[in-house]
Amino acid sequence: MTTFILPLAALGGWQLGAAAILALLILVLVLVIATFFMTWLRAKLSGATVGFPTLIAMRLRRVPASLIVDARITAVKAGIEVSANDLEAHYLAEGNVIQTVQSIIAADKANIGLDWQRACAIDLATKGTGKSVLEAVRTSINPKVIECPAADSGRATIDGVAKDGIQVKARARVTVRSNLDNYVGSALEETIIARVGEGIVTTIGSADSYKSVLESPDSISKVVLERGLDVGTAFEILSIDIADVDVGENIGAKLQESQAEADKNVAQAKAEMRRAAAVALEQEMKAKVEEMRAKVVEAEAEVPLALAEAFRSGNLGVMDYYKMNNIKADTDMRDSISKGDEKK
């Protein structure tokens, strides 16, 4: 101990400082080597070397070095060269590094052309959609079947009405394969289901009779398949199979019944309007009759006044008045006789 202290005491102040800095640097270097040594060694032994400066830079950028190294080892062991910088860039873009590496490995084994950049683009495009680049590659290798209508749509069949008014219910299975060239920015399964459903409804609606649909259900799939429903989607339709066809309700008869009921209600409404108009006219005529009777009564009330005025002015004599009364009495008698004959 004494022999160690004596050389330190012999050093000057700046020499002690330099020795302390050197010791600190050696300590930091030892800590760095201890931290990244196993990761570096694992990459080195796997043939996917990643340098210490790169590992330190990953730590500073808060990128998990072990994840990047594992992904690079997986790719190199599969015969695919992907640099650590590309893996780190995809991780910083919030991509799924492991699944992206697995997807290009699967595509390479299946002889499907898929490079790293396109795989990254598909991975980022499917983020948050419930899909993944690995699923897209697997679907491209092993086509999958889409039920139409979808199981979560709340409907069991696709319903259409033939020209004879009979409803036809159908259910289809669509076999699709991922089109990796158009996967980014293209429509997904929902569009395929909607287009196939529209095609089935249109085909049933153009049939002259529901019997022709029941006799050859494959005619539906042929017509729908010829329409190119996979344009602009991320899939290629391989086949459309009609799984079930059934007869529904007589929609035409129901529509005719509803139309007849509506026509009846309209006719009843018009008849009620005419009856109301007739009642209104009758009441109006009664009012006019009463009005005319009032005018007659008013005119009859003016007759005695006119007679009195004629007497005063000398235009009517006593004998003339008696003659007029005789004529009136004679007229009343004839009226009573004629009314008696009518009663008989």
Residue 124 shares a structural domain with residue 178: no
**With a cut of 50, which residues of the chain have pLDDT below it?**
1-6, 8, 10
Residue 151 tokens read as: 């199981």
Same domain? For 74 and 137 the reply is yes
In a domain, 264, yes or no: no
Mean pLDDT score of the chain:
82
Pair of tokens at residue 325: 């009364």
Q: At what angle do helices 13-45 and 52-60 cross, to 10 degrees?
A: 100
| Structure confidence at residue 91 (pLDDT) | 92
31/130 same-domain check: yes
Determine, yes or no, domain membership for 40: yes
Same domain, yes or no, for 196 and 92? no
**Spatial contact of 39 and 66, defined as CB atoms under 8 Å apart:** yes
Domain boundary pick from 250, 285, 314: 250
Does residue 301 belong to any structural domain of this protein? no
Domain end, chosen from 228, 250, 272, is at 250
27 lies in a domain? Answer: yes
Q: How many CB atoms lie within 10 A of CB 44?
A: 12
91 and 150 both lie in a single domain: no
SS (H, E, C) 33-67: HHHHHHHHHHHHHCCCCCCHHHHHHHHHCCCCHHH
Q: Please indicate, yes or no, whether residues 119 and 155 belong to a single structural domain of this protein.
A: no
Judge if 176 and 89 occupy the same domain: no
How many C-beta atoms lie closer than 10 Å to residue 99's C-beta? 17
Residues 152 and 114 in one domain: no
**Residue 167 and residue 194 in one domain:** yes
Domain-embedded: residue 39: yes
Residues 132 and 152 in one domain: no
- 182 is in which domain, residue-wise? 144-250
Compute CA distances 286 → 181, 274, 295, 296, 299, whole Å: 88, 18, 14, 15, 20
CATH number for position 182: 3.30.479.30
Single residue among 114, 141, 168 that ends a domain in this structure: 141
**Which letter, b or e, does each residue of 268-299 get, where b requires 16 or more Cβ atoms within 10 Å of its Cβ?**
eeeeeeeeeeeeeeeeeeeeeeeeeeeeeeee
- Of the CA atoms within 13 Å of residue 122, those in its CB half-sphere come to 26
Cα dihedral across residues 229, 231, 233, 235: positive or negative: positive
Identify whether residues 108 and 162 lie together within a single domain: no
In this structure, what are the phi and psi dihedrals at residue 45, rounded to the nearest 5 degrees? -70, -25
Residues 202 and 233 in one domain: yes
Domain count, the chain: 2
Establish if 286 belongs to a structural domain: no
Q: Name residue, tokens 């490079």.
A: 115
DSSP strand pairing (158-161 vs 235-250): unpaired
